[in-house]
Structure 1
């Protein structure tokens, strides 16, 4: 298979990286975890994805930051005791492979697939692929196809970490309705009209907003468009970052997660497919 000319392949500490540069943007994808690590549009040369400076990039554990792929469950919602199965599923801790790539007049497209999709906790036959398009926007699409004879139910998310200068100056726009607050025993609360992050935040927004804008210092920085989802998850560990081994104690000030997710159980019949898409628009 020939590789698109905009892609340079690199390897470090046993991990293979796809470094993409075209007329519109630069990006980096790790084949360990099927993980987008960086996206820098050339219109303003601002990094949109946050990557922890303490991220472990040796293949020993999932990489902290970028766009982790959560599948076939979200968080520890796998029906077992917490810790018995890997949090957020098993795709983000395996080696993926590049199956196709192409350059177009609008950017670069790659398709990658995981080594396996059947493991402890998910005993079903299916195909999974991640399509990443790097152009004036970054489009990430996770597709699941049921290849078996029985239906199954799964959850999934694109757990995107966005980089900001200072979380104190960040405001989210576009979220409405109720959310489930993990920090308060999953209490149902109303989304604030003035949406700022001022404490530990771990919320599943049940109104599946199609567009969320990340504002900083009163200006729009990034618009996040979503489809195929039933929830938007917002996460910032706040001072709890100090207890996260692969995150700086003050790293929470430079990031916010706005995640395109299915958290309420999506059922897929034989030969049916589900497509989860997140589009990152520099504003």
Structure 2
């Protein structure tokens, strides 16, 4: 199976601080890869590098074999990379439909000089696509409701639908279940698996150990800006280095704590 995403020796320095240092890993096409680590490990910085919000100090980032390390976010979106954010970035005073339609901007082909009926037909088609996406994430009943009126869990779903509206090959999810209860996070887990089953490769950053274990095919662990280890979702928690990184020295924790469903949240 080919690599959809590959990082080779990627570093990002801010002055003397090495936020990411010589990170190398790959995500196979059609899989869900977890990217985990304690707070401050560099996870969001890696997502920002992959999505073009930051450019690496050193190293190579490839998407399906093509070097994309120097591409800006709009170019990466056009190449098939979409993302969500650790802190929600939605238009609160706009409806769910309007927020998702924003994600369809790359698909609008109409020009100002075209006949009105041509533009209206395309707008109708884009609305239909957006409504199908809203249905897929389970928000049909609130399609025309302002995002500000929705629960936190629903707002997360809107953000995922908007990201999917760009028709990505690679979806980057940064803490999609942060602040959710178990039922809400389980719903997001099923949604992620559904998206992956439709052929989208996923890189998932999340502190929810149970979610990562249940949905990911592979897990990469970061600590202090570097890759600590990489393994299957069950094997990774048996690594003493991972337990120590999350919970401190061996004397301060037990294996049962690490294996608890919600440990690490």
**More helix per residue: 1 or 2?**
2
**More strand per residue: 1 or 2?**
1
Structure with the bigger RCO (C-alpha within 8 Å, sep 6+) is 2
* Structure with greater Cα Rg: 2
Per the normalisation by structure 1, the TM-score is 0.27
